[in-house]
Chains A and B, each alone.
Chain A
Amino acid sequence: MPVANERLTVLLCTHSTFSFGAGTATPGTLVRRAADLGYQAIALTDTLNVSGGVELFQVAREVGIQALIGATLPVRIEDEVYPFVALALSRRGYRSLNELITHAHARAERDLPWPVLLSHTDDLAILTGPRQGLPSRLLARRQIQRLEELMRTLHGAFPERLFIQLFHDRLPWDARRARVLRSLARHLSLPTVVAPEIRYADPEDYRLYDALVCARLGRSVQDPHPSRPQNAAQSLLSPTEATERLPYPDALANAERLAGRAAFDLLPDRLVPPRARVPDGLSADQHLERRCYESLLTRYQGDQLGPARRTLEAELATVKALGLADFFLVAAEVTDYCRSHGILAAGRGSAAASICCYLLGITRIDPVRHDLLFERFLHTGKAAMPDVDIDISSARRDEVLAWVEQRFGTSTEAMVCNKITYRLPLAIQDLGRALGLPPDLRNRLSRALGRDYRGLTPRRAAEAAVAFDEVLGDAPAKTVLLDLLQRLEPAHTRHIAPHSGGVVLARDALTHYSPLERSSGGIKLLQLDKDDAEALGLIKLDLLGLRMLAALERAREEVLRLEGHWVSLDDLPDDPTVWRLISEGATMGLFQIESPSQVHTSRVMRSRTMQDLAHQIALIRPGPIQSGTVHPYLRRRNGLEAVRYWHPSLEPILAKTYGVLLFQEDVLRIAVHFAGMSWIEADRFRKKVSGFRDIADIEPDRVRFIQGAVAHVGASREQAETVFEAVKSYQGYGFAESHAWAFAQHAYASGWLRVHYPAEFLAAIMTEEPGMWSPSTKRQEARAWGVPFLPISINHSGVHYRVERARTGDAAPTKCVRPPLTAIKGVSTEHARELLFARLQAGPFRDIDDLYARVPLARDVLEALIRAGALDGLHDRRDALYRVGLLSTTRPPGTQPLFAPPVQAPALPAVDVATRFTWDHATTRFSSLEIHALDLIRDQLRELAAITLWQVRRYPRKARVRTAGLVVSRQRPGTAKGFAFFVIEDGATRGQVIISPDLWERHRILVRDASILVVDAVVEDTGYQLTLRAEALAALPTPVTVRGYHYG
């Protein structure tokens, strides 16, 4: 880089949003702004973070300036902490930087001891820091001698790589400070660099920066603090202005020279898989080949063997060409471990199209039999990371993660992070706190956003003006808050958190790529999200906890305990009763097909095969919904419409989906076989059309597609246009076919258990809570399943929901579900275990005195047990509460009395049914009582002439009715053009209420807050899929609310 000394050309100290509460611009924004202003290089130096590194390098490459990576390191010297700026001079320096950041994150103080900085010096340059830096602060205190000693020590550790940092923030005496720093540098024979500290891209963002600093410090803007800015001087200033502030040619030239020394490319062009365990004398390719062929001969026989062998040969060649054999073997090690330890695990996603994955036992779908497209998963042109997602029983995922860490080593295994960006509610909390809005007001405002606005990015806050007006009225803070919110960039990352399952396994120490830190929950994570990890050449495995697998596992164990049978979930028979259940739409609790829209589809489709089920699962997704696939698919499948193809050449691709686009693979195959693209092009094309925002962005793709189709299959322009329009409208999320097949297996297994072992299955889904329905709704559904609920009991309940054979009324003993003590809010697993252990030691508890003497439970835990009815068999609830109150004043819990005077309780009125029901819901979210919340207000409903949902089910379609129900689910998906879908419940009967956009707007607050909805409606559908089109709405208060499923 030629050195021109007249003005500043490089920025060496820049903070982005990844300084978390200490920067307002994303790395991309900073780079683009720097390029616009004419800078040649920019360094990102976030505090103890390099999460912005990949974006920095990618955007810098795009706009043609040099990216440099560094970090601001808080260094502890004796009792004080000083920021130093470290810049990586090479890939080795980047690793040193990552090791230092890792070290700091491992400390509770989140800083670096001085000796640690001095021992990690490889290829790092150090700047002495801005205003709060060591030189400025010691000079201000006139501790010159100490400063000189420390600088000499630092120089010894970083020879030729230590620079006195000059800055000027337009604060009093900054110019003089710069002159003094230069004198110090001359005295110590150290170079100076002009390195203003940048915190935002635009001077107008100063206010946002100040507010974020206040939010980070937990202060209001009214409170002064030394960390708060005084002016807008830390914006990304022009080179001219920067030079005017610090007009020192040598320091300007030094900055440029240092940038030249720190230039290296962070982004490699190859993937680096982890190293698998391979027998001596074999390469990874040979071992993979051997394992696959051994398995091939056991899984395929006769006519199947030939095609399977050919598929395997082609796939192994691709894997070898990409050098990914280790990766497949490592994934197989994980599933091998799960299998050998009885943990349910199964690969999902595009990997299910791989015969290698099938033969290695990573997935359970035969890709040859189902004609799944391997190229969706991997092809030789694919530079991106292959996705191997493994679903693991959520109850045992931690066990698997612990094994992975032990197997691959602590330094080469970690989770990728999620970059958590602001949505309106969180931004209101942070910025509202900074503006001094009290918590109650902030919470009200967050609630007022409702489903309509809470998903908005803060930049679109003005769209939620109605909610701001409702809560803040004309308060001046409203305008200020709205202004701040609108300044937050959509990609502003507030913090990082562990990804749901993405584990990176590397060949080298992970600090080669990123620092490591621990989440608040103790999970070790990289400062890279999945895209960053891929850009840096890392490969991740998604080890995802799936609650349904945990439920299947638990149900299977209950069956074994009660019946002595072992249900092999891999070999379930094809059972007409399961298909009948699904066809009726009685799918609550079944994996992926329990939502109201899936219930409807179940009744229309009447699935009879696994292929039907895979298609049904894939059908109700944004991609097929947007592309208008759903209705033609259902009509054609049911023979109500002829199957047509846009072009004859598409028949082999779309025959099994009746001529419509259902899967991601359909788009890929059309791009290749119809438009003549290569697999690489098709892959890019699919990703682009599924997520484009501006039609102009895909215009080149349209031209390429149409020209390709005309040339490749002789399609007319009109035909090609029609197909392109269909592909283009496949927007948003759609399923890979392989993924749908993998999920169909779990769906069928859940249906099979539901049919044959309903009590065991119900206990399992109550414990693991997969799916969308609340415990209260599942408890109501238990009536329809014919599974009685037993009351929660201190002497019978355990840690999980269990099945018991019990007599209810005069009937013969039947399987019932007993809720656990852990279902009670405030009773932990440890409490429940203690109670269980005490019961095993000395038998059932005789009364509250006995319980109090034997188990040391805090009073609030005892009261929660009583309110939930766990002592109903021993005392009335009020009586028990009174006794606990008295006992707690006499001696500590868990101690025997010296004397045993019986507790005398006055005659208290027994708790009535309504109170019991309310207390049940408050403590356990359901009630074992055979009543529903609406039973408490039947009289009011009769006054309104509202009939029950059960009665509505017998009304004909198009009838007008007035009915009511407890709201248990609220959905307003983005694909529904403003329509909302609520599910209301009355006992075991549920109905879906469709609310038009117009009605929604008129009753926005009512529908947001309603617990019991009274609705005048037209009956659209009956039976299990009772559907009502709302014409008028009202709400009734209720003593219980249900925390149901909310989406959109």
Chain B
Amino acid sequence: MRNRMLPADVAWRDGRPHTVRWDDDAPARSTARARVERITQVLDTWEYAGRWWEREHRRSYLLVETERGVTLELFREGEAWCLSRTSD
């Protein structure tokens, strides 16, 4: 998988992640170039507590598959989502 570390938005529907949107040019984040993928399957979830002694925040990870067959690794830190790795 390729490291990305891009800001992302995850939309939820019926308690499940539904779509993910990110911008390959982030941090410029030009909305016009944003990519949106529909999530078809949650492959795994896990949590990472971070370097608590340095006051890092906890991360909740999602490993999802999109309808284009791409695998995305996303995490949420606080209220913000991040696309950490992709397998396309």
Binding site for B on A (CB under 8 A): 170-176, 206-207, 210, 221, 229-233, 435, 477, 480
Contacts and interface: CB of A to CB of B under 8 A. Distances in A.
Contacts of A231: 46-49, 58
A173 B44 CA distance: 6
B26 to A, nearest CB: 25
B50 to A, nearest CB: 9
Given A176-B44, A230-B49, A231-B49, 6 more contacts: A172-B63, A206-B49, A206-B52, A210-B49, A210-B52, A480-B53
Contacts of A233: 47
Contact of A229 (B49, B51, B61): B49
B45 interface: yes
Contact of A435 (B44, B48, B53, B61): B53
Contacts of B44: 172-173, 175-176
Contacts of B49: 206, 210, 229-232
B52 A170 contact: no
A474 to B, nearest CB: 15
Contacts of A232: 47, 49, 58
B46 A207 contact: no
Nearest to B50: A231
A1002 to B, nearest CB: 36
Contacts of B47: 170-171, 230-233
B61 to A, nearest CB: 8
Nearest to A214: B53
Given A170-B46, A232-B47, A233-B47, A207 B58 contact: no
B53 A221 contact: yes
Contacts of A207: 52-53
Nearest to A434: B53
Interface residues of B, number: 12
A85 B29 CA distance: 52
Nearest to A480: B53
Contacts of B58: 231-232
List 3 tightest A-B contacts by C-beta distance, closest first: A231-B47, A231-B49, A170-B47
Contacts of A176: 44
A229 B51 CA distance: 11
A231 to B, nearest CB: 4
Contacts of A206: 49, 52
A233 B44 CA distance: 15
Contacts of B46: 170-172, 174, 231
A903 B52 CA distance: 65
Contacts of B53: 207, 221, 435, 477, 480
B52 to A, nearest CB: 5
Contacts of A221: 51, 53
A428 to B, nearest CB: 16
A175 B41 CA distance: 14
A171 B45 CA distance: 8
A484 to B, nearest CB: 9
A171 B63 CA distance: 12
Contacts of B48: 230-231
B47 to A, nearest CB: 4
A174 B63 CA distance: 13
A113 B52 CA distance: 38
A579 to B, nearest CB: 64
A229 B46 CA distance: 13
A486 to B, nearest CB: 15
A176 B47 CA distance: 15
A170 to B, nearest CB: 5
A174 B44 CA distance: 8
A233 B46 CA distance: 10
A215 to B, nearest CB: 13
B74 to A, nearest CB: 13
A477 B53 CA distance: 8
